[in-house]
Amino acid sequence: MHKILIFGAPGVGKGTQSQLLSEKLNLYHLSTGEVLREAISEGTELGIKAKKIVESGHLVSDDLMIGIVHDALKNRMNSKDGFILDGFPRTIDQAKALDGILKELGLEDLKILHLVANDDEIIKRLMLRGRTDDNAETIKLRLNLYLDSTKPILEYYKPYRKIIEVNGIGEIEEVFGKILSKLQ
Ligand code: AMP
């Protein structure tokens, strides 16, 4: 069973690579950003709460996100051969809560797949992507949030989790090939 956390700056290609991996390895792809975007477009209670925060590039509250991930991992894995977490955790508190969730559900031995890229490349990619939360101001904010709140999670996990580093820059298929070979 594969238990993977895909990690990296906004725009590094986590969504694309997670999608490919989930198809290839029959994994449940849990993208917290997608969950929020769907809720926003459907106008659910969660969507109404999250809309302004997501559009401004800020982080949705830890409590809300932890609840979403707990329920999704508990109830939605169905007949899959594992899962890939994409966009969660984004803070140390989320990372600690995830440890508790995985323990509760008997899903330990999470592997971290770190897609590496430099800031210039990230900004270029985000500007090209053109999502409604991708403008110069929110890009800067999200990159800073990544550096200040999210990236330190790597240091937190380092003593007890396997961290696999893959260069995220290159053709989609080329990056995907490297990921598959390193996961073997
Ligand atoms: P993403 O698709 O991962 O780039 O997420 C899009 C937006 O959703 C982020 O900029 C945040 O506003 C929100 N979001 C997604 N995942 C999380 C999370 N784990 N914690 C807080 N906010 C999140």
How many CB atoms within 10 Å of residue 136?
Answer: 10
Assign 133 a pLDDT band (cuts: 50, 70, 90). Answer: confident
| Residue 143 pLDDT | 92
Q: Which residues pair with 111 in a beta bridge?
A: 4, 162
What percent of the chain stands above pLDDT 70? Answer: 100
Instruction: Tell me the pLDDT tens digit for each residue of 150-162.
Output: 999 999 999 999 9
Give the mean pLDDT of the chain.
95
Instruction: Tell me the pLDDT tens digit for each residue of 169-178.
Output: 999 999 999 9
| Residue 126 pLDDT | 86
Residues with CB under 6 A from ligand 1: 10, 32-33, 36, 53-54, 57-60, 65, 87-88, 90, 94, 133, 142
> Looking at the whole model, is its pTM more than 0.75?
yes
How remote is the CA of residue 112 from the centroid of ligand 1, in Å? 18
Instruction: Tell me the pLDDT tens digit for each residue of 71-130.
Output: 999 998 888 999 999 999 999 999 999 999 999 999 989 999 999 998 888 888 888 887
d(CA 102, CA 149): 21
Residue 6: pLDDT over 90: yes
